[in-house]
Chain A
């Protein structure tokens, strides 16, 4: 089934640890995104990539990094996790600007 696969589905992480959230899509979409969703704040863009080999900062990029080595994969790394990074993280992709986004099922991350 075409779509986006995120892993892990949930994780409890000790503060200060490094963590990579994985995201893979099989739709050959050019653009990919990472969002975090927090109660009362909605979805906020962390980082994006318009095409393989390029990345950009979103609304809340501090503490996160991304890479886009190929079209299909877009991992999100927390270099040193802090409790404020407790959230649900969604990866999304689209064919390009003006097109609807396809979202993964999310990773629920708790930093303690």
Chain B
């Protein structure tokens, strides 16, 4: 079953049009939630780690928040250079130890 679900799959914004990306998870024993940015032909680039509900992290036009069931990546006044695929990953505790599960990503396109 899907344990990490990202929505929407794709999002097209005009420059300056703020929006949010969603990452919902159904795992228990959350150890951390990670956000990454991936440009075409490159590896994912680490953005944020959130560890507990209520926590927020910011970096330039990006702000990540976390609740007990989901995380949001808010993009304020985006620019074309923010176009990329944004991945979230959840680290959780299983009987076999920690496990990291990735979502399938949201492909963001910011147009002039």
Contact = CB atoms under 8 A, between A and B. Distances in A.
A103 B102 CA distance: 14
B45 A103 contact: yes
Most central of A4, A44, A100, A106 by chain B CB within 10 Å? A100
B31 A42 contact: no
B42 A43 contact: no
Contact of A42 (B45, B49, B102): B102
Contacts of B31: 97-98
Given A41-B104, A42-B104, A43-B102, A101 B34 contact: yes
A4 B34 CA distance: 19
Interface in B19-34: 31-32, 34
Contacts of B41: 105-106
Interface string B45-81: 1100101000000000000000000000000000000
Interface in A89-110: 90, 92, 97-106
Contact of B46 (A90, A98, A101): A101
A45 interface: yes
Interface residues of A, number: 19
A40 interface: yes
Nearest to A10: B41
A50 B44 CA distance: 20
Given A97-B31, A97-B98, A98-B31, A42 B44 contact: no
Nearest to B96: A56
Contact of A99 (B45, B49, B103): B49
Contacts of A104: 43
Contacts of B103: 42
Interface in B71-112: 87, 89, 91, 98, 100, 102-105
